[in-house]
Every structure is written in C-alpha cells, then in structure tokens.
Chains A and B, each alone.
Chain A
C-alpha cells in the first residue's frame, strides 16, 4: 500500500496535520508564532548535525530545538531584552551556524531546497512510522496536560493559584513543539512549518466559538491543506511544502467569508 511515493506522502502529511492542529491553536493563543519560527530555523542546524554525525534527522532536530527553547528561557532570565529580540537572535544565529556547517560538509550530497521547502519524494515508510508513533505520543501527552496547559494559557496567575502547576506544563509544551517540528521537517521544510501550525488554527478561529471546536476544525483544515496541497504539488510539479501552505492560505481566505457576512448582517 505504501509502495507509491504519493500515498506515503499523503499518509505522513495527514498524520502531521493531526498533530499541528491542537499545537497550532496553542501557539496562536499563546502568541508564540515567532517562537515556532525560531525553532524551525534552528532545525537546519539539527539537520546539518544529523548528516555530519549520521544521526536520525528527527532526533537531531528535536534535540537542537529543545536546547534552543531552554536557551531562550535562560536568556530571558539574564537580560532584559524583549522576547522577540531574543527569538530573532537565536533564530538567525542558529540558521547561520547551520549554513556555515553545510559549507564544511561539501563532500556529502545535500538537498538544501528539500530541507527548506520539504520534499515528498523523500518520505519513506520509516518516516510514516515516525510521524504516526511520534504523533501518537505527542497527542497523548497533550491530552493529559491539556487542562493545565489551557488554563495557564487563559491566565497564568489563576492557573498557578489554583494548583495547575503551569511552569512545569509550559516546559513540556515547549518540548512538544520541538517534537512536532522534528517530525514534520522532511515534509514541509524548515521555512514553512510554522505556516502549517498557524494558518489552519487561524482559519479555524474565524469560524468557531469554543476551544474544543477550534482544535477540531484546525485539524480538519490542516488535513484538507495537506491533501489538496499534495495533489497540486503532484499535478503542477511544485515543492510539497509551499503547495500545502498556499492551500492553507486559500482556506484561510475562505474562512473570512462567514465573518464578513455576519458583519454585513449586523449593519
């Protein structure tokens, strides 16, 4: 069944969309979109290291992302620079280090375009297993910590006062985010993974009115984006990552229509 590269890509992509739905909602609720971006930029360094020391790519990306996340928390304690400045510093310096290291690895054949934008041809059966097993673990953990994480997202002090231990769960959330980036890097590419986190969630917000609904609809929009995006990519011979994100954008634009109509009706 997985002989066909396209089927493999579709199965892996749908798996990714199911994970990015709920995490994407949390990312936009917590205003962390630039944080996701930083982790994704640093992923290039992870991939480079994976090639240099022949490690598993997802594992290496996960470790680097987790280190970056912890570095950020540490820097926030040491300096009074605003969060976005620190994120910019980390994002671009890790991206630069990654690119410099690639220069040293000239002996290894390296598809940098595939890394930046995703490559459906590269998805193997092992990748599918990784996405679905990894995704199952990520969603399982998320399910268990949802109440604490969600209450801390609404109001940190309230959650903290009422015994939800937000600091621990915030840390776990950061690791989950690193995990989802590691899993989806091959499909979507480092430059666009934040798009798959944010755009379906944002589109979902336009047409839903409670948190649970928003998560479910975000998953649906993600699955639609991946499916239509991959078909388009096959037909038009375009990179898989950008095609998926363009479809997500189109769905976002469509999601604005009900808002507009409601606005007109109220006038």
Chain B
C-alpha cells in the first residue's frame, strides 16, 4: 500500500444516547502513514469516536467509510476474568493465527518477550498494556486504533511505547488513530490533532491547534503554555489537512 491512501473517513458522525448527544458533527480522516490524535477532557467522546471508526458503534447520524479491513485495536480497558485461563501467547493469537516467532518478535518490540508463557492475570497494568500493543502490532494492521495505550506504564516505559508507536506508523506505513492525554507527545509527534468536546472544537496540525482559542479554553492557557512545543525534524512537509506532501 502506498503512502497517503485514505483508510477511513468519518463524516458528521453523531451518537445519541437519551437524553443527549454523546458526540455530534464529528468528521475526521486517517491516511496511511499518518498519526491522527483525539484529545479532549473526560467524557468528551474520544472513545465513542474511536468506536465508531472501528464499527463497534453505529452512528445515529453521519457516515463512516472504511477502505481497509486490516485493523487492530488497543482498547482502553480489558478485564479478563480468572475463570478464563489465558497465557500471553494465547492472547496474542486471539484474532489471528501467528507463529511463535512472530509472537516473540512483537513482544520483543514492546519489551515483554519474557512474558510469553505467563498468565494474563499475573501481569501488572503496565506489562498488560505492552502486551496489548504487541498483539496489535503483530497483526501488521493498515489501521491501528489506540485508546490511551500508555496508561499505567511507568515514565520511561511511556517514552518507549510512544517511540514504538511512531516507528509502527513509519515502518508498517499504517494509519494510526490515537486517543491520548499526553499533550507533549500529541503536539510533538503526531500529524493531525482533533480536539473534541462532544463536537470538534478545533483540528489541524499541532502547531495550529496549540494556538487555537478553543484549544486554549479547553486545556487552560497556563497548562498549554507550560508545554514546550517541540518542532520535530521531518523529512517531509505537511498539507493543511495533515497529509504529507512529497
């Protein structure tokens, strides 16, 4: 698949759960090789939006067009009951058949290859998060949806995982839709930011969003200023919609 193929396009999507609209008028696009992030306060509809993109929820208005079926998902929360005996290796094979080598390779990328035979129930929050990410990578997806993938991971681990996420988008040329609270990573390493609060407050390149009034109101001028905006080195430039122009 070449770069900049449109993978998914959400148009004017809304979900109504009585008595209110959880989200409304949300549009976004993800192209291959691109990282699109969703930011916003709790209850702003980030996970809901991600679930529409994944076809888990059907929008009550608006439409979703998807151009790939190779999708991997890292959900925000997974509880696996003790009743279900499950080793990491079984979990890795949950939705597709992988060889042991492929599994170890992916676990290796997220630094948890020694957990191969461990029971899922015995993992710490951070370890489990790494396994979740490894499972998603192992699928070699064209579209990867990550819902707060670094929660519960220690500080160094966070940096590791974000680096891995950047690498996936570059190496696999897959499009990534990321829900994140980490404004530093969002602003420094992603191509397109969508700022949600039930509707789209603002969206665009990080450098544009960070100056947007709506963004400043949502995240507070003080907080957003203390974050240094890190201009990353790119070997390409972006169009206004976040796509890469060659």
Contacts and interface: CB of A to CB of B under 8 A. Distances in A.
Contacts of A147: 95
Contacts of B235: none
Interface in B83-101: 83-87, 90-91, 94-96
B71 interface: yes
Interface string B6-26: 000000000000000000000
Interface residues of B, number: 25
Interface stretch (A10-18, A60-68, A155-163, A245-253): A155-163
Contacts of A157: 51, 54, 56, 73, 75
A205 B86 CA distance: 11
A209 B71 contact: no
Contact of B56 (A160, A205, A208, A213): A160
Interface in A152-175: 153-155, 157-164
A29 interface: yes
A31 B90 CA distance: 20
Contact of B85 (A31, A159, A208): A208
Given A211-B84, A211-B85, A213-B85, A162 B56 contact: no
A161 B145 contact: yes
Contact of A161 (B73, B86, B119): B73
B54 A160 contact: yes
B78 interface: yes
B95 A164 contact: yes
Interface string A133-158: 00000000000000100110111011
A155 B73 CA distance: 11
Nearest to A155: B78
A158 B94 contact: yes
A111 to B, nearest CB: 36
The size class of the interface chain A forms with chain B is 20 to 34
A210 B87 contact: yes
Interface string A107-121: 000000000000000
B55 to A, nearest CB: 7
B139 interface: yes
A39 interface: no
Nearest to A160: B56
B69 interface: yes
Interface string B74-86: 0100101101111
B196 interface: no
A160 B58 CA distance: 12
A162 B90 contact: no
Contacts of B71: 161-163
Closest 4 CB pairs of A and B: A161-B54, A161-B73, A162-B95, A151-B94
14 contacts: A31-B83, A157-B54, A157-B56, A157-B75, A158-B94, A159-B95, A161-B51, A161-B71, A161-B145, A162-B71, A162-B72, A162-B95, A211-B85, A211-B90
